[in-house]
Structure 1
Amino acid sequence: MAIVFITGSTDGLGRAAAQSLLEQGHQVVLHARSAERATAISELESHSARVVIGDLKSAAQTRHVADQVNAIGRMDAVIHNAGVYTERSRGPTPEGHATTLAINTLAPYLLTALMKRPDRLVYLSSGLHRGGEGSLSDLDWTRRTWDPAKAYAESKLHMVALAFALARRWPQVLSNAVDPGWARTKMGGAGAPVGVATGQRTQTWLAASDDPAALVSGRYWHDLRQQEPAHEAVDPDFQERLLDRLGELTGVMLPPA
């Protein structure tokens, strides 16, 4: 059985993924933004390996989350699920970054760089990532007028590009990106067409299944099927330039292969 760390697992797709993996007999390390939020998963906590706490909006707290997970041990898989949708303003975060960028892009990058390397990495993206091209000219929204939808699309493009870049850099790690669909969560709303059970199944399958179809890397998935992502996401030059910028913004570089 695997041990899997899931960011943003107090509700929505993260919680559903945790529940699914626990029911399959796997161990799960849960994550909550705060101690208060952790009370929402008290019924899961008794069955989980541990709960780690930290607000991914803060780089300092994100580093602390990585430290907490590393103290537990090396994960078999990590599902980077946590995210925000349409933030009304740029922010800023404690470090001065746009909130959407910090939570949706910088935090997964930092955790990937700082945690003990797992066997599998799964990054949640969105079909909206196709509207995020051209982000590197002003990655942190310091010059552009704030556009919540565009910022979200860009952050989800970053997730696909990061997954593909790691598939190239770390060939021993299975690294994939998932579009879970428009799911009925707090973020997606009650009118969304996809239930959370359906929305979580691709990422949990990639994180823990021994199905040969799941043992691949550098792919973009939706509903257990591979799809073609945006052009920039598969461009190695874009991937490397994105990694350089993320390293500059966080002060942390990805470890070599």
Structure 2
Amino acid sequence: MARIFITGSSDGLGSIVAQRLVARGHSVVLHARSAQRADDATKACPGAETVVTGDLSSITDTKKLADDVNKLGFFDCVIHNAGLFRQPYSETADGIPPLAAVNTLAPYILTCLINRPKRLVFVSSDMHQSGDGSLEDILWRQRGEKEYDPIKAYRASKVHNVMFAKAFARRWPDVQSNSLDPGWLPTKMGGAAASGDTEAAVATYVMLAEGEEKDAQRSGIYYNPGPREGRPQAVTDDETAQERLLQICADFTGVQLPA
């Protein structure tokens, strides 16, 4: 039995994956951004071990969430599932769009601060293929509201998720760190018109969470639904770019990458 923590698991695909893992005999800790959402998460997945709360758009809340997770003990796998899409421009208390905070900074902070698991899973998207991998102004602090484009912001953040998986795979050889594209699914995020295969997506999550299959024991791999190994955007393999992304996140959040 594995012990697994899943961010953004109060509803949608995160909740579906949690339910499947519980049904397969694993211990799952859920995450929700508020007490109300935590109640929703528990009702959707009553077999879960517990639920922790924290608003991932807040750097302070995300740091506290990591501390709360650590108080629960060791996890075999952490799945960075939470994400925002088509989020209109606003600014968090930290002065950045919520999408940049949730999709880019939160996975970085949690990975650095949660006690190192055996496996890390970063949820990306095939939309990263057309994302900006330049790493220029990734938090939209210079461009601001006037130039903000939620689709461009989302695509770029999904580039970052693949880069995180590869960077941690390289830095931490004792951890299987991978990323996945769940596909375009008929969830609240994807919409009713989505044509993706939910079962194929769930199978990819489960494989990487359990870590038993041969493919799950690899590291730094990007998976399409199925699971099938995919070919991510070339910039994600650039180690210099990976290090730059980590440093940008460290500088802004004050969270340094563990040795």
Contact 2:10 2:44 in 1 (8 A): no
CA shift, 1:253, in A, is 1.2
CA shift, 1:44, in A, is 5.0
Report Cα offsets for 1:182-206 as digits up to 9, x if no partner: 0111000011012433322202211
1:168 aligned residue:
170
1:26-37 pair list within 5 angstroms = 26-37=26-37
Distance across 2 between alignment mates of 1:218 and 1:53: 29
CA shift, 1:139, in A, is 1.3
Q: Please state whether the residue corresponding to 1:181 is helix, strand or coil.
A: coil
Distance across 2 between alignment mates of 1:254 and 1:143: 25
In structure 2, give the amino acid aligned to 1:248.
D
Distance across 2 between alignment mates of 1:70 and 1:94: 25
Q: Please state whether the residue corresponding to 1:25 is helix, strand or coil.
A: coil
Contact 1:121 1:174 in 2 (8 A): yes
RMSD between aligned alpha carbons? 1.2
Contact 2:119 2:211 in 1 (8 A): no
1:186 aligned residue:
188
Are 1:6 and 2:19 an aligned pair?
no
**What are the ranges of 5 or more consecutive residues in structure 2 without an aligned counterpart?**
none
CA shift, 1:5, in A, is 0.1
Q: Please state whether the residue corresponding to 1:138 is helix, strand or coil.
A: coil
Find the partner of 1:242 among 241, 245, 254.
Answer: 245
Are 1:231 and 2:234 an aligned pair?
yes
Distance across 1 between alignment mates of 2:99 and 2:119: 25
CA shift, 1:175, in A, is 0.2
In structure 1, give the amino acid aligned to 2:97.
A
1:51 aligned residue:
51
**What are the ranges of 5 or more consecutive residues in structure 1 without an aligned counterpart?**
none
Q: How many residue pairs were aligned? A: 255
Distance across 2 between alignment mates of 1:209 and 1:120: 7
Report Cα offsets for 1:24-46 as digits up to 9, x if no partner: 00000000110011121233554
Q: TM-score, normalised by structure 1?
A: 0.96
Distance across 2 between alignment mates of 1:46 and 1:229: 36
Distance across 1 between alignment mates of 2:99 and 2:33: 15
Contact 2:167 2:239 in 1 (8 A): yes
2:203 aligned residue:
201
> Percent identity of the aligned residues?
48
Q: Please state whether the residue corresponding to 2:47 is helix, strand or coil.
A: coil
Are 1:116 and 2:115 an aligned pair?
yes
Of 193-202 and 56-65, deviating more is 193-202
Give the 3 Å change call, closer, same or farther, for CA 209–174 of structure 1 in structure 2: closer
